[in-house]
Amino acid sequence: MVEYLQHSIFKVISDTAEELSITCYVIGGYVRDQIMNRPFKNDIDILVLGSGIGFAEKLGEKLKTKVYVYKRFGTAMLQYDNIQIEVVGARKESYRSDSRKPIVEDGTLKDDQSRRDFTINTLAISLNKKTLGELLDPFDGLKDIELRTIKTPLEPAKTFSDDPLRMMRAVRFATQLNFKIHIDAIEAISNNRERIKIVSKERIIDELNKIILSKTPSIGFKYLYDLGLLEHILPQLHALQGVEYKNGKGHKDNFYHTLEVLDNVAQESDDLWLRWAAIMHDIAKPATKRFDAKVGWTFHGHEDRGAKMVPKIFAELKLPLNDKMRFVQKLVQLHLRPIALVKDIVTDSAIRRLLYDAGEDMDELMLLCQADVTTKNAFKKKKYRENFEKVKQKLKDVEERDKIRNWQPPIDGKDIMNTFKLQPGKEVGEIKNAIREAILEGHISNNRKQAYKHMLEIGKNMGLELTNDQANNEVASH
């Protein structure tokens, strides 16, 4: 395995181990990914039999770089040549039933390998001169890589009970690597699923986001559903599953539809928040589901209800309550609008309104809407795609002509207050809204002169008084 140790950092680490007469290995994800010929992620885990902190401090001296020490965990971290190196002393762990934080003691190499989550992450390569490149694989991790299997080094029920976050990690690795979770591990996760409740939301969401960012995120969500974890992590998504029939009429399974939309988005974009919008786009369908004898099942208003649900769900999951959340909320709110334009006669007014409401997120909205077309009817899918192209062209034409995207009306509140004898208040807002509506409807052009004239007409109809001759001078100057 010497071929996996070509980077110059390994010689420095090996030399340091020789000077300190300490046994040293590279272990875990780096070894796994090298064997699988996966891209190097610029992080390396180093295991020593002895003090990991002392070894890291000596390594830091040699590399002339700062060492970050975490005494509580017995680990140290340093950066070199854009590589993050974590050094830890070999240890064994024991757990209390009410916590996933272990009681740590010094241990052997095998103790350390056995405490790791999965066999594919137990692989270690020696960095000592005499045994350089030797692979130590006591739990058949190499075989499990060949079998593409996620398996625990020790008894799986204890592995997942001790640290329930490993249940999420099993799903995450299965999704990222496109591996299968071993049947014994599946049974153990199912039996221990309730223990996910002792894990912090922050740790759960970190793993969930990695699942979402994988090439085919539906793999992970199907596992989460089947293993009974999803109802504890994201019950609103879990509630989408199932098909109800009435009078012989059924609706589609909105859970599996959502996963298909998510995969469709993932094929086109690596944007985490656009993928979250795909997850959330139909989140309110259970709450808005109704049966009509004439038309069958309806979900009227699920986009509005869903948009209102987004902040609460983000807060529960400890996701950011900032512009990322507002982006997801906006796309959930608007996700039916382009589809409505596909179905109906497209007017310039409808296009202008969509451009105004979507703003800089118009392209992402269109991507989500196209991903939302999951019909298996080839004719319908072809027709939708053709109509979407027409809508795209119309959006482009109207945008080039009217410059509505990210647009602010040419008259603002200050203009209105300066023209009329007004203080900030309801009347100012009413005039601003009226000007905006007139432009969006195409009654006036999107320029200051026409907007100002329209403002004067509105003010006159409202019985407002002008401030001196300012309005006439303003019209004349434009």
Q: What is the pLDDT of residues 121-165, one digit of tens each?
A: 999 999 999 999 999 999 999 999 999 999 999 999 999 998 999
Could you report the per-residue pLDDT of 345-360, keeping only the tens digit for each? 677 788 888 888 898 9
Q: Taking the domain 2-144, which CATH number applies? A: 3.30.460.10
Whether 434 and 449 have beta carbons less than 8 Å apart is answered as no
Rounded distance, CA 130 to CA 24, Å?
Answer: 11
User: What tokens were used for 280?
Assistant: 């959330």
User: What tokens were used for 361?
Assistant: 């997120």
Could you report the per-residue pLDDT of 370-389, keeping only the tens digit for each? 999 888 888 888 888 888 88
Inform me whether the pLDDT recorded for 103 exceeds 60: no
Could you report the per-residue pLDDT of 187-222, keeping only the tens digit for each? 999 999 999 999 999 999 999 999 999 999 999 999
Average pLDDT over residues 305-330: 97
- pLDDT bin (cut points 50, 70, 90) of residue 294 is confident
User: What tokens were used for 1?
Assistant: 């395995």
Inform me whether the pLDDT recorded for 344 exceeds 90: no
Rounded distance, CA 21 to CA 258, Å?
Answer: 56
Inform me whether the pLDDT recorded for 99 exceeds 60: no
pLDDT at 212: 98
Inform me whether the pLDDT recorded for 399 exceeds 60: yes
Could you report the per-residue pLDDT of 69-97, keeping only the tens digit for each? 998 878 999 999 899 999 999 987 655 55
> Domain-by-domain residue ranges, the chain?
2-144, 413-477
Average pLDDT over residues 263-280: 98
Cβ neighbors of 404 (< 8 A, separation 6 or more) are 352, 355, 356, 398, 440, 446
- pLDDT bin (cut points 50, 70, 90) of residue 343 is low
Whether 190 and 227 have beta carbons less than 8 Å apart is answered as yes
pLDDT at 406: 65
Q: Percent of the chain scored above 90 by pLDDT?
A: 63
Average pLDDT over residues 22-31: 96
- Give the residue carrying structure tokens 């592995």: 159
**Nearest Cα to Cα of residue 446 among 410, 396, 415, 412:** 410
**Nearest Cα to Cα of residue 258 among 248, 266, 250:** 266
pLDDT at 105: 62
